[in-house]
């Protein structure tokens, strides 16, 4: 059975935010979509830009919510529910101002660190079982 993974990149929509550190989630997903050969499409149902790619027998669903970051859960959680993606197959890419620029940290679960976008997702999921 093919596994589906959801990777959400958080940021804020609009040209004023496009090249800011706060939009690193969008930037990472743009690079990933390019590597997967996936095209972005606006999905009004989930208020997000979505792209889908396949690799190693699995499907990767990419999501860039188009509301403000502190409301990201309103796009990410219904999308995960619609595609029946278990919490353990959801990854969220965000900026972390506590880390030096260019540093990447993978943290499966363990709280939001006060990040409002992660707070929104965790609040609607009801768990922190996502990376």
Catalytically active residues, by annotation? 22
CA distance 93 to 117: 10
- 122's CB contacts (< 8 A; 6+ apart) are 73, 112, 128, 130
CA-wise closest residue to 87 among 1, 33, 25, 8: 8
In DSSP terms, 54 is beta-bridged to: 59
Q: Are 76 and 19 in contact (CB under 8 A)?
A: no
């Amino acid at each position: 059975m093919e596994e589906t993974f959801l990777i959400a990149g958080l940021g804020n929509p609009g040209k004023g935010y496009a090249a800011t550190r706060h939009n690193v989630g969008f930037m990472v997903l743009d690079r990933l979509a390019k590597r997967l050969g996936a095209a972005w499409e606006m999905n009004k149902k989930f208020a997000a830009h979505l792209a889908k790619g396949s690799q190693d027998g699995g499907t990767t669903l990419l999501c860039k919510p188009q509301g403000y970051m502190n409301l990201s859960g309103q796009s990410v959680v219904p999308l995960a529910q619609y595609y029946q993606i278990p919490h353990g197959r959801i990854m969220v890419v965000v900026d972390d101002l506590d880390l030096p620029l260019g540093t990447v940290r993978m943290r499966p679960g363990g709280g939001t660190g006060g990040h409002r976008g992660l707070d929104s997702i965790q609040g609607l999921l009801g768990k922190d079982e996502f990376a």
